[in-house]
Amino acid sequence: MSRVCEICGKHPSAGRSIVRKGSPKYKGGIGLHTTGISKRRFLPNLQTVRAADAKGNVKRMCVCARCIKAGKVAKKA
């Protein structure tokens, strides 16, 4: 299963996880120092819902939470 919303096309994006060590200057320290940077992925909040497609047939769809909240999905029982 690909991690892509079937309505808006939202997909995973890349970023970094930054590890810092030390005490910040505003707290009286000498500042924060970066000790490690590693890659990470930001995954969309996908939910599997039973929804009506364009023809009115009930179909299982992988949809992000933002589309569900916005009402872009007509959920069926």
Asked whether residue 64 is assigned to any structural domain, the reply reads: yes
Residue 73 CA, distance from chain mean position: 18
- The domain of 63 spans 13-70
**pLDDT for residue 16:** 97
* Enclosing H/E stretch for 17: strand 13-21
| CATH (domain of 25) | 2.30.170
HSE-up (13 A, CA, CB side) for residue 23 = 5
**pLDDT for residue 53:** 80
**pLDDT for residue 6:** 93
Q: For the chain, how many structural domains are there in total?
A: 1
Asked whether residue 19 is assigned to any structural domain, the reply reads: yes
Reference 8, options 48, 53, 65; nearest CA is: 65
**pLDDT tens digits for 32-47?**
999 999 999 999 999 9
Residue spans of the chain under pLDDT 50: none
- CB neighbours of 55 closer than 8 A, spacing ≥ 6? none
**pLDDT for residue 77:** 67
What is the Rg, in whole angstroms, of the alpha carbon atoms belonging to the chain? 21
